[in-house]
Copies of this chain bind each other. A is one copy, B any other.
């Protein structure tokens, strides 16, 4: 029924596939709370091929693999790999493939997870390919929304921040395009979603508005506010940054017109765009969101290894 094999991009997946993953993630969460650890991937090797450092995504995947009963091997930077000996990327993957049941890859260049999937016989999961996509992050975002709201269809969701450079925003927009949502795309003019994403939203008939500042009218309308960092150095000048800044820093005061059940999400790590004073508001769900990553990744590991 569900045809997931590699998890490379949110563009590849349809609504049924997303819902399948969310359903399985929910089952994993339930089973983990009862048993701590399952044996669904017992005897399987999950290889973490992290050519680029990462703490949270790597630890989240490793935890997920352990909780599924798998064993984990891998590397967390290219420092300790044969890449330094001049080996081609394809050879590294083909070698890893000889002893892996699932390969999880993070690498700085767009498309590298896809290249890996082309030469590996084991399933490949993209854990972030540079500026391109971060599909498992988008899935845990969906899972968090579904868990908190009971639905994704019918929601009004604001995506705010640097929509141009934040790969999670690309993956999330692609994922949400499968659902009946209304999107506010909130960013400065020069940090808007790239044309490729916009074309996709149009092709899928997603209702969206592009807005350059978060105002009370929009805030009142939101079920979910998803925020990412806006880097000072992306702005044409310090002056431009200081002018725009206020709209992209989510404070309790900015949200004073928000609905009671608004939830605020963030992929973390955060900087000034989401000050710690937000943590005690009823809106904050970003640490729960990080926790949900484990269940979603358990589900994905299980699905690609054909045990879920």
Contact = CB atoms under 8 A, between A and B. Distances in A.
Interface of A: 35-37, 42-45, 47, 50, 53-56, 58-60, 62-63, 66-67, 71, 73-77, 79-82, 84-88, 90-92, 94-99, 101, 268-271, 276, 287-288, 290-291, 293-294
B91 A269 contact: yes
Given A80-B53, A291-B98, A47 B59 contact: yes
Given A66-B71, A66-B73, A87-B269, A290 B45 contact: no
A99 B294 contact: yes
Contact of A86 (B73, B86, B101, B271): B271
14 contacts: A36-B42, A45-B63, A59-B74, A59-B96, A67-B71, A77-B79, A77-B80, A82-B269, A87-B268, A87-B270, A95-B268, A97-B287, A98-B293, A99-B290
A90 B269 CA distance: 11
Listed from nearest, the 4 A-B pairs whose CB atoms lie closest are: A36-B43, A87-B269, A37-B43, A66-B71
Given A36-B44, A55-B92, A91-B268, A60 B287 contact: no
Contacts of A74: 59
How many protomers of this protein does the assembly include?
A: 3
Contacts of A54: 80, 82
A45 B69 CA distance: 12
Given A53-B81, A77-B79, 19 more contacts: A37-B42, A55-B80, A55-B81, A55-B95, A58-B80, A59-B73, A59-B74, A60-B99, A66-B73, A76-B80, A77-B80, A87-B268, A87-B269, A88-B276, A90-B276, A95-B268, A97-B287, A99-B290, A99-B293
Nearest to A96: B59
